[in-house]
Amino acid sequence: MRAWGLLALSFVLVASAAAVRILGFTLYGNNVLWIEGLHALLDSLLSLFILIPVLIVRSKIGERYPYGLYKLEDLVAIILALVILLSLFLDINELFSKPSVVGIPVATVEAASILLLALAAYTKRQAGRELRSPSLLADANHMFVDVMEGGAVLVGLLAYILTRIGGAYTATVAMALLGLLLAAYEAGHDSLKAILDLPKDKEELENMRRAVEGVIGETGELLDIRARWAGPVIFVEVLLRLHPLLTIEESSLVAEKVKRSIMSAVEGVRDVAVRIEPVRRRRLKVAVPVDKPEIARNISRHFGRAAYFAVAVIEDGRIIDVEYLRNPALKKELADDASAKVLRGARVAEALFKEGATDVITCGIGEIAYAILLRHRVMVWRGLCGKSVKENLDALIKGKLVLMHEPTREESWEKDGGGRPGSGLRPA
């Protein structure tokens, strides 16, 4: 795999930089090369240390415990940030010291080691991006800052060689220490967010939200979406509220589409957990067949032949309005039409939908009317026959009615009985 080859090459380059600096100290006795050599040696050891969680989270053991083990990488990135801060405090002494032996050979050794470190940082960054590893990317950022620090030291060495002014060296070391501070921030702040389960990237979270809303459309509502960054991957949790008439199979298909949409919209998503919450509708418009326009009157036993429909608006469990509408299928011009008699229920079902009904309470209903209401996602409840409209509405509010899962009787289509009648409901 290319990424692992890049990691091996990066380690060899860092170790070579450490060896060049320590060899330079041995040959020329310059304390700066000794400190820089120890710094590079520490980098090479850290590179090996970082590989441990990278390998663990990609092993079979890591697959069994994805949340905890993936966060090992974030933990290592934070440790790395602390190590950088420690090296910063250790290097503060250089602000108050002068190079013991400074010459062109010493500067040449430092320049060669900087080149090796730059190549090592580049190869490690490429490997980190391919593996989506925050600890490797943090280490690569740290190494790039080491390159900047080495460059500042080199400038200080050259300035001291040319001018013999200690202030020039001190200023460049101060810039190198500032670079170490920035390196600690870059290495640790994203991983600290991951450990605390804070969003690393709000834009990615918005992309997920847009992807979900594009899938569910009018079939439901996105209640919440959360993302947990763990090492190189993202775990997503989605809470949906879907229409109550969707079957379990239809709901599972929506959940699968949501999962695929998020994974295609955002790179690095390892898993998407979709939870579907039962619908709690705040506002209903309920139609109830009745033979007289009175709320205290018992509901009609006939859906298509009822003289009126009580249409009640319910909000937050309270009846706030009731309107009585005439049955359009009982118009005089339709009385002697045989096909119209068969399609009375269909006419009523279409009319109720056009009036905005979300629910129907009835004692009986034919297959044609029932199918039309279901097609329009109007919920059909089995009414309490012999009870008033008010009692049925109260029973619906209290959850005492049950949904009809099939019509109460079958009807036959007449040869010429097709068509789609419009709403004929009008106030009583």
**Domain segments of the chain: what residues?**
2-195, 202-277, 283-403
Q: Which of 44-58, 67-81, 144-158 has the highest mean pLDDT?
A: 144-158
CATH architecture, range 283-403: 2-Layer Sandwich (3.30)
How does residue 52 score in pLDDT terms, banded at 50, 70 and 90?
low
Beta bridge partners of 409: 366
Average pLDDT over residues 180-201: 71
Q: Which of 45, 12, 3 is nearest to 120 (CA)?
A: 12
Percentage above 70 pLDDT, the chain: 78
Average pLDDT over residues 69-74: 70
Average pLDDT over residues 172-198: 70
How does residue 258 score in pLDDT terms, banded at 50, 70 and 90?
very high
C-alpha distances in Å from residue 87, one per residue of 42, 82, 143, 145, 192? 10, 9, 13, 12, 20
How does residue 151 score in pLDDT terms, banded at 50, 70 and 90?
confident
| Per CATH, domain 202-277 is 3.20.20.70 | no
Average pLDDT over residues 127-136: 78
How does residue 289 score in pLDDT terms, banded at 50, 70 and 90?
very high
User: Per CATH, which fold does 2-195 belong to?
Assistant: Alpha-lytic protease prodomain-like (1.20.1510)
Taking the model in full, what pTM does it have? Answer: 0.53
C-alpha distances in Å from residue 365, one per residue of 74, 142, 257, 294, 361? 62, 73, 35, 21, 10
The more confident residue out of 424 and 248 is: 248
Tokens of 369: 């009317």
What is the SS3 assignment for 327? coil
Assess whether pLDDT exceeds 90 at residue 147.
no
Token pair 């079902």 is found at 349
Are the C-beta atoms of residues 187 and 73 closer than 8 Å to each other? no
Residue 76 CB contacts under 8 Å (≥ 6 apart), including other chains: 49, 50, 52, 53, 135
Assess whether pLDDT exceeds 80 at residue 49.
no
